[in-house]
Structure 1
Amino acid sequence: MTGGKPYDNVPGTVIFDAEMSRRGYHLNQFCMSLLKAVNRERFRANERAYLDEWAMSEEQKQAVLARDYNKMIALGGNIYFLAKIFATDGKSFQYAAALMTGMSQEDYANMMLNGGRSAENNRYKGEQSDG
């Protein structure tokens, strides 16, 4: 993303804005193709061949193959479109969210049941405490 946006100052946050939408257009279209059973089967049968049918960057294709959802988001993927990938893999949204946060699924679920992630170190960069 280019600098100068008011939300660029939030650490660890990728905002799906118009620029990211353009960047991830083909990645997100690939994800939407997985709504059809025939496409899910084709993808499962040969992931690389199916991905090569889409005008995604090589970096986007590698992120899909690695199931690196954080990277896909950084490359313009929208989490609601990316959900089609983990659903195709038989995984839950909770599983993917835990994976993206580096937590176990149980720890992630407990965190969310206890009010979610702390705001500490998740504020604007200029508002963070030093200690």
Structure 2
Amino acid sequence: MALEKPYLDVPGTTIFDAEQSRKGYWLNQFCMSLMKAENRERFKADERAYLDQWAMTEEQKQAVLARDLNRCIAAGGNIYFLAKIGATDGKSFQQMAASMTGMTQEQYYQMMVAGGRSVEGNRYIGEKK
């Protein structure tokens, strides 16, 4: 029985629900492996070989290699797990978030200090003003 998912109606937003969790299980497990220093070193030494040890889809592996966090999220990644990739690369969460918006880190920072993104264009598709 398919569940009704009215929350899928938010433009540009992927909701991490049970379906996304199942889809990204191995991607997120890979990310969690990066909590151990020896795994971070193995990953940095040969990223592809390390990724090939995980039962991830090719799309997930390519998204990681490209550091395309939006693709990773679409492929079932959870941002809190994906943050381990950024930390491995020496990136702050703010730098990672900026990369996902197409903004520079400074532009992203200024947007957040000013109160975040505008609600315009970010409501439910079916929502009326």
Q: TM-score range by the shorter chain?
A: over 0.9
Counterpart residue type for residue 34 of structure 1: L
Identity between Structure 1 and Structure 2 (%) = 73
Specify the alignment match of 1:126 in structure 2. 126
SS at structure 2 position matched to 1:115: coil
Is residue 121–residue 128 contact of structure 1 (8 Å, CA) maintained in 2? Answer: no
For residues 1-131 of structure 1, what are the structure 2 equivalents within 5 Å?
4-127=4-127
Counterpart residue type for residue 102 of structure 2: G
Structure 1: which 5+ residue stretches go unaligned?
none
TM-score by length of 2: 0.95
Measure how far apart 1:3 and its partner are.
8.8
Distance between the aligned counterparts of 2:119 and 2:7, measured in 1?
Answer: 16
Distance between the aligned counterparts of 2:113 and 2:34, measured in 1?
Answer: 31
Structure 2: which 5+ residue stretches go unaligned?
none
Measure how far apart 1:127 and its partner are.
2.8
Distance between the aligned counterparts of 1:123 and 1:4, measured in 2?
Answer: 19
Distance between the aligned counterparts of 1:19 and 1:122, measured in 2?
Answer: 23
SS at structure 2 position matched to 1:76: coil
Q: What's the CA shift string for 1:77-118, capped at 9, x where partnerless?
A: 000000000000000000000000000100000000010000
Distance between the aligned counterparts of 2:118 and 2:128, measured in 1?
Answer: 13
Distance between the aligned counterparts of 1:128 and 1:60, measured in 2?
Answer: 36
Distance between the aligned counterparts of 1:111 and 1:11, measured in 2?
Answer: 19
Counterpart residue type for residue 26 of structure 1: W
Measure how far apart 1:126 and its partner are.
2.0
Measure how far apart 1:59 and its partner are.
0.3
Q: Size of the alignment, in residue pairs?
A: 128
Measure how far apart 1:58 and its partner are.
0.3
Runs of 4+ in 1 over 6 A off after TM superposition: none
